[in-house]
Amino acid sequence: MTDKDTPLAGLRVVELARVLAGPWVGQLLADLGADVIKVESPEGDGTRQWGPPWIERADGTREAAYYHACNRGKRSIVADFTDRDDLVQVADLCSRADVVIENFKPGTLDRFGLDYETISLGNAGVVYCSVTGFGQDGPRRNEPGYDFVIQAMSGMMSITGEPEGEPMKMGISISDLTCGLYSTIAVQSALLMRERTGRGQHIDMALLDCSVSLLANQALSFFATSENPARKGNSHAQVVPYGVFEVADGEVVLAPANDRLFRALMRVLRRDDLADDPRLQDNAGRIANRDWMERELADEVRKWKRDTLLAHCRDAGVPAGPINAIDQVFEDPQVKARGMRMELDGVPSLRSPFRFSDADLVFDKPSPRHGEHDGEIDFLD
């Protein structure tokens, strides 16, 4: 830390959320300087027990690594919503919060007076963000939202995987994480709007909406043609060549995404004949001749050692890279230089990627123990 300010210093956040999408919002806001109070049930956020693997603290206590992925920098208190005194305390926190994050099923918090309508009566400036599987309206509003199910329903799995293989999910909980990111953008936008209007508002975020929005160019391809995009494995539907290629000692990704870069790669591979072939001078031609051209390219690439080819591509300005396992990622000199792996009081952590010229992030404490801050059930001045 330096003496720079933090972007969200002084912002008060109550997190009534568990698992991933909601807590991801809370962690991002905490990293940006907000005071985030995580309100947990007596049983605690379920991800505390989602191990192995486990992370053990210096005092011998342990929680699942999953829990630590999305709860850094917060304070934790325990509240039983069926206990009147606990409920009064939580309602009081919400009445003085700038932001409330919740991910209960629609209507659940109405029973406890912790819904937006009730809280906003005494706190007109509150920005209240609801994160659910399907949103606050529509025929599926009361159904639970699980990342895997949302990936399937959103169309993402239909375009992920090998052409002849089964539909595949992502190796990360992309629907949860994306909803968390979109929700953070929405919260910050509503806070900025509050500066103009003096009023907060209710933000309705749905995992399905956020995942459908990620279809991006694939959705536009469907809109333009009325045809479902096909799974293409590691190939690209609109750019050729673009994919995974075998080298003599492994595999690499090659992504020459325009005509100039294609010709540059062919020069690296000493295939001037392909660089100058009239059939391959633009992307449309390369798509039309994809099969034979990629076979020619694959034969050439197999002659190279990985690091040698990547060095030549780097010198020629051709986008290319190794396919790293996770251990290799954190040994990469660039990842090390950017400080993406951190340790907070002996607890490993993954850095948020924000970097500001005149502001700091807050990385001063790991994820809280269950109820660690019960004696501080208040916002700090």
Kindly report the number of other CB atoms within 10 A of residue 14's CB atom. Answer: 29
Domains of the chain: 12-214 (3.40.50.10540), 243-330 (3.30.1540.10)
Residues 201-219 pLDDT 10s:
999 999 999 999 999 999 9
- Residue 240 is predicted with a pLDDT of 84
What φ, ψ does residue 334 adopt, rounded to 5°? -70, -45
- Residue 43 is predicted with a pLDDT of 95
Tell me which residue has tokens 């994050």: 101
Q: Which of 9, 45, 44 shows the shortest CA–CA distance to 30?
A: 9
- Residue 2 is predicted with a pLDDT of 53
What is the CA 344 to chain-centroid distance, rounded? Answer: 21
DSSP string computed for 326-340: HHHHTT-HHHHHTT-
- Residue 161 is predicted with a pLDDT of 93
CA distance 240 to 283: 6
CA distance 254 to 71: 36
- Cis peptide leading into residue 7 (ω within 30°): no
- Residue 127's identity, in one-letter code, is V
Residues in the chain, pLDDT under 50: 1, 380-381
Q: Which of 11, 55, 46 shows the shortest CA–CA distance to 31?
A: 11
Positions annotated as catalytic residues are: 176
- Residue 95 is predicted with a pLDDT of 96
What 3-state class would DSSP assign to 161?
Answer: coil
Residues 100-127 pLDDT 10s:
999 999 999 999 999 999 999 999 999 9
What 3-state class would DSSP assign to 124?
Answer: coil
